[in-house]
């Protein structure tokens, strides 16, 4: 469900493996080989249940607009759980790390979901609802949690996407949120799809959350340096967006306004520990240089097509 970067990558990966896929979005899309697109409001539990009936797995990759999370996530999550209960399909949810809130040290799955901000609280509640239903035997559910998306297909939703990569490909300075030298974990988009599909078929994965494997943390500056080196543009300056600029922009930009809650993820080290997943399953993070190369080429093709 959902056809943003993660949903699209997962749907296409499954289709390439010969698995029939039905994608549910509000607007629908033209059919693709092996992929059927259906337009409906996924908060309508009855319609969603009928749309997914017969499926073995429901992949919950959809999300409300960022600035409407608190108001719209509860209905979407309830509908997903209702569809999973009515059909018996395994519910595989794509989560993030907001639910932990600020912590000292690496992020592990056994940390409490102690976020105090509205987006962190709602994401924690989404998983807690599914987990309770799983423990009651009413559904079968699992959540995989990603850090900041990065890679081919990631545009507006990634910290290294629309406002960073196109500029560095032109050799221009880039401005970033938070401390550009703080270690940060990045989740490569194809690894998201691989982890989602792996846990769907592993009964021992169900009933808990897992961190998607990521390469060792690199700062934003280190990632920009590697991207610039691979693109051949040479080093580019990396500047921290002043707090005053972010605050002023937040007056006009819902995205910047909402990013205040998770500024801590960029102002301090934000390192994900995925050792539990790696000890249990086979997916491993794609080597970072391969991530860098594929991302540069994807953006080059996108920018060339756009003129």
Coil/strand/helix, residue 59: strand
The pair of three-digit structure tokens given for residue 221, joined into one six-digit string: 């500056």
Distance CA 113, CA 18 (A): 37
Backbone φ, ψ for residue 119 (5° rounding): -70, -40
Instruction: Give the Cα-Cα-Cα angle 81, 75, 110 (nearest 5 degrees).
Output: 60
Chain segment 28-87, per-residue pLDDT in tens:
888 889 999 999 999 999 999 999 999 999 999 999 998 899 999 999 999 999 999 999
- Comparing 12-26, 47-61, 153-167, 274-288, the range with the smallest average pLDDT is 153-167
Assign residue 105 a region: left if phi > 0, alpha if psi is -120 to 50, beta otherwise? left
The band of 226, judged by pLDDT with boundaries at 50, 70 and 90, is very high
Domain locations in the chain as residue ranges:
5-306
pTM, entire model? 0.94
In which residue are the tokens 């600020």 written?
A: 102
Distance CA 37, CA 31 (A): 6
Distance CA 304, CA 307 (A): 5
Distance CA 192, CA 187 (A): 7
Distance CA 178, CA 39 (A): 38
Instruction: Give the Cα-Cα-Cα angle 65, 143, 106 (nearest 5 degrees).
Output: 95
Q: Which residues pair with 259 in a beta bridge?
A: none
The band of 243, judged by pLDDT with boundaries at 50, 70 and 90, is confident
In which residue are the tokens 């991530």 written?
A: 291
Residue 42, CA distances (Å) to 1, 28, 192, 204 in order:
8, 12, 22, 28
Chain segment 109-162, per-residue pLDDT in tens:
999 999 999 999 999 999 999 999 999 999 999 999 999 999 999 987 778 887
pLDDT at 242 exceeding the cut of 90: no
Instruction: Give the Cα-Cα-Cα angle 29, 34, 37 (nearest 5 degrees).
Output: 25
Q: How far is CA 82 from the centre of its chain?
A: 23
Query: Which H or E run contains 174?
Result: strand 174-176
What does the DSSP 8-state code read for residue 66? G
The CATH superfamily holding the domain 5-306 is NAD(P)-binding Rossmann-like Domain (3.40.50.720)
Instruction: Give the Cα-Cα-Cα angle 13, 15, 17 (nearest 5 degrees).
Output: 75
Q: How many Cβ atoms are within 10 Å of 173's Cβ, its own excluded?
A: 11
């Amino acid at each position: 469900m959902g056809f943003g970067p993660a949903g699209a990558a997962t749907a296409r990966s499954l289709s390439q493996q010969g698995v029939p896929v039905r994608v549910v979005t509000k607007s629908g899309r033209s059919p693709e080989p092996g992929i059927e697109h259906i337009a409906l409001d996924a908060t309508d539990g009855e319609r969603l249940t009928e749309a997914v009936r017969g499926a073995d797995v429901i992949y919950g990759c959809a999300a409300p607009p960022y600035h409407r999370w608190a108001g719209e996530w509860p209905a979407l999550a309830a509908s997903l759980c209702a569809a999973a209960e009515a059909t018996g399909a395994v519910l595989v949810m794509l989560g993030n790390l907001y639910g932990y809130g600020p912590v000292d040290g690496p992020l592990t799955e056994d940390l409490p979901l102690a976020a105090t901000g509205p987006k962190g609280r709602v994401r924690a509640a989404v998983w807690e609802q599914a987990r309770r239903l799983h423990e009651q035997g009413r559904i079968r559910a699992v959540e995989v949690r990603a850090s900041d998306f990065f890679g081919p297909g990631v545009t507006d939703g990634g910290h290294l996407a629309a406002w960073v990569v196109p500029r560095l490909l032109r050799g221009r300075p880039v401005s970033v949120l938070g401390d550009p030298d703080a270690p940060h974990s990045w989740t490569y988009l194809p690894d998201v799809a691989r982890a989602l599909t792996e846990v769907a078929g592993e009964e021992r994965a169900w009933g808990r959350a897992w961190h998607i494997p990521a390469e060792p943390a690199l700062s934003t500056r280190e990632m920009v340096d590697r991207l610039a080196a691979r693109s051949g543009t040479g080093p580019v300056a990396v500047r921290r967006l002043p707090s005053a600029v972010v605050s002023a922009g937040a007056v006009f930009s819902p995205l910047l306004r909402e990013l205040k809650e998770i500024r801590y993820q960029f102002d301090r080290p934000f390192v994900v520990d995925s050792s539990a997943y790696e000890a249990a399953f086979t997916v491993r993070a794609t080597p970072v240089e391969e991530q860098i190369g594929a991302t540069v080429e994807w953006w080059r093709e996108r920018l060339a097509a756009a003129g």
